[in-house]
Chain A
Amino acid sequence: MINRDNSLTSRVDISCKREGPKTLLVNSYFDIPYKVVHYGSKRLQDHLEVMMMCYSPGVMDGDTLQVSVHCPVNAEMKLFTQSFNKVHPMKKGASQSMHVKVDEHALLQYLPMPTIPFRNAIFDMDNLIEVAANGHLIWGDIISGGRIHSGERFEFSKLHSRTKVYRGGKLIFFDNQLMEPRKQPLERMLFFEGHTHQGTLLIVSEYAAAFKEELDEVLTEQFVDMSYGFTLCGKNALLVRALGESGEAMHEWLSNIGDMCWSFIQHHTEAVAPVAEETIAAPLKPAPEKKAAPVVKKKPAKKKPAGKTAARL
């Protein structure tokens, strides 16, 4: 909807359903300037791949966007965005809120392209994510310090992003990030520390701890141009965070980890609970089998980090 002051109030709804082996797009709704389309051919894979597109130059002053994403029982969806989320110069501010639901045995991956706040941008992001106790979520976000290559470095006014994740109805993760370059030493110690981009990848799944063991084996060295860390931010939640210089490189890196995790989760869930060919939802059947499932893949070997038993000073 176009408001009197030319700002846009938009809504995007994305929902899907599982039919046999396939997940299909249903009930998608979008306002200008957004569009939801299939990402490539929908026959290429069983899961659903959709892309959210924006055909305006980006977020303008006063714009508000509300997105709701629903992944019902057993559905598997990868949601992409087509372009960088460009937040233009403004006086009042713009906002975006997302409400995401991932039901039992459903799997959702969402790794949007980076958000770029231009000079004087004011942007508020609010994400509410509800994951069922047996649902799986792979969620990312990347925020840059501005149009770095145009010489705009941390010149936005304010960016506030809040992400609350509930699992089985209980709050398990709350990420509260406020960036106000004029009030915080954003480029200094404790914040960006000389880097220009920050990235986050969150995995919520009963297999999160097992997947961390895989990462323990793979991510053993730091990169030259990126500083990262990962941790179990909850019993069934894994958090990867990184600081770097390139939004694209970071997006690719986090996507790789996300895809790896996607396959990892699918590998386990398929072994545990093959969905009956024609049933759409049979939550009662796979549930009891699931508990008996071996969580760790083939190699249980996990190297304990050196010095785990820290010497007392």
Chain B
Amino acid sequence: MQKLLTLLQVNDSMFPIGSFTHSYGLESYVNAGIVHDNLSAAEYARTMLEHNIYYNDAAFLYRTLSLPTGKKRWDKLAELDVLVTALKASYEIRDASKKLAIRFLKLVNELKIYPVCRKYAEAIQQGELHGHYAIAFGLYVKAAGISTEEALSAFYYNSLNGIITNCAKTVPISQTAGQKILFGLQPVIARLVNKQKDMDEQQLGLCCIGQEIKCMQHEKLHTRIYIS
């Protein structure tokens, strides 16, 4: 029970780490008129889950959850942090990941202290590591004893929830339509969680070229309500 409540709390979209200030390129899609109605919002959400999040943030989270214990752990974590930084090419996306990581760690370190989370926070602060949200989240939920499956499901759910909330605000689509997309994509999340462990090592960090360009274009949008 305690574990479930912890997961619900730290994975809540209202957990005050500022995740609602990022659209991860969606704002550029709306601006370009590509995401403009229920159908295109649903397509965007589904493609993001299947082709972006699965190979990127969810995969980074899975890697964090699978870190070895013992001496090698920190070296592997540092290696992962460098790899994720190299993969997140778009400046705003990389920076978003860092900002969320810092705020997340600051906050959870006030709730319950786990040495590894504290060490990661310090390494980011001192500039030794870049800092990434998926890694920070993974370190905390693993330390809190939450299972890999639940952590992954929650992470996918919250990523999708963020997309839907942003669609409702910017496209806009109705709240009901948004919830329908969210509900309809539950089987997709279940499938992705199930096959996360089978992901080919060579596919870690696959790039969606169009999405990455939209994230870069966001730096130049004339009016912006999101940071990324």
CB distance from B182 to the nearest CB of A (A): 18
Q: Say if the beta carbon of B34 comes within 8 Å of chain A.
A: yes
Question: Contact: B216 with A307, CB < 8 Å?
Answer: no
Among residues of B, the one whose C-beta sits closest to the C-beta of A227 is B213
Question: Contact: A193 with B207, CB < 8 Å?
Answer: no
Q: How many of chain A's residues have a CB under 8 angstroms from any CB in B? A: 43
Chain B contacts for A306, CB-based, 8 A:
221-224
CB distance from A224 to the nearest CB of B (A): 13
Question: Contact: B219 with A307, CB < 8 Å?
Answer: no
Q: Say if the beta carbon of B6 comes within 8 Å of chain A.
A: no
Please, how many angstroms separate the alpha-carbon atoms of A104 and B24 in the complex?
Answer: 36
Q: Say if the beta carbon of B47 comes within 8 Å of chain A.
A: yes
Q: Say if the beta carbon of A177 comes within 8 Å of chain B.
A: yes
Among residues of B, the one whose C-beta sits closest to the C-beta of A172 is B86
Stretch with Cβ within 8 A of A (4 or more), from B99-107, B135-143, B184-192, B197-205? B197-205
Q: Say if the beta carbon of B209 comes within 8 Å of chain A.
A: yes
Q: Is the interface of B mostly helix, strand, loop or mixed?
A: helix
Q: Say if the beta carbon of B4 comes within 8 Å of chain A.
A: no
Q: Say if the beta carbon of A8 comes within 8 Å of chain B.
A: no
Chain A contacts for B211, CB-based, 8 A:
190
Chain A contacts for B219, CB-based, 8 A:
229, 231, 305
Which listed residue, A192, A239, A305, touches B210 by the CB 8 Å rule? A192
Q: Which residues of A163-189 have CB atoms within 8 Å of chain B's CB atoms?
A: 164-165, 170-178, 184-185, 188-189
Chain B contacts for A191, CB-based, 8 A:
51, 208-210
Question: Contact: B47 with A185, CB < 8 Å?
Answer: yes
Stretch with Cβ within 8 A of A (4 or more), from B68-76, B87-95, B149-157? B87-95
Question: Contact: B34 with A193, CB < 8 Å?
Answer: yes
Which listed residue, A171, A189, A231, touches B89 by the CB 8 Å rule? A231
Q: Place the interface of chain B in its size category.
A: 35 or more
Chain B contacts for A230, CB-based, 8 A:
216
Please, how many angstroms separate the alpha-carbon atoms of A162 and B208 in the complex?
Answer: 13
Which listed residue, B29, B90, B169, B206, touches A178 by the CB 8 Å rule? B206
Among residues of A, the one whose C-beta sits closest to the C-beta of B226 is A310
Please, how many angstroms separate the alpha-carbon atoms of A23 and B89 in the complex?
Answer: 33
Chain A contacts for B12, CB-based, 8 A:
none
Q: Knowing A231-B91, A311-B225, A313-B21 touch, does A171 contact B216 (C-beta < 8 A)?
A: no
Q: Say if the beta carbon of B122 comes within 8 Å of chain A.
A: no
CB distance from B79 to the nearest CB of A (A): 9
Among residues of B, the one whose C-beta sits closest to the C-beta of A166 is B86
Contact with B along A243-269 (1 / 0, CB 8 A): 100000000000000000000000000
Interface centre among B86, B214, B225 (most CB of A within 10 A): B86
Instruction: Report, nearest first, the 6 A-B pairs whose CB atoms are least far apart.
Output: A229-B216, A233-B89, A174-B86, A307-B224, A229-B213, A190-B208
29 A-B pairs with CB atoms under 8 Å apart are A171-B83, A176-B204, A176-B206, A176-B207, A188-B43, A189-B40, A189-B44, A190-B44, A190-B51, A191-B210, A193-B34, A193-B210, A198-B209, A229-B90, A229-B215, A229-B217, A231-B216, A233-B94, A234-B85, A241-B209, A241-B212, A241-B213, A243-B210, A306-B224, A307-B224, A310-B224, A310-B225, A313-B20, A313-B225
Tell me the B residues contacting A by CB distance below 8 Å.
20-21, 29, 34-35, 40, 43-44, 47-48, 51-52, 82-83, 85-87, 89-92, 94, 169, 202-217, 219-227
Additional A-B contact list (5), CB under 8 Å, known A171-B86, A176-B203:
A189-B40, A229-B213, A229-B214, A310-B227, A313-B20
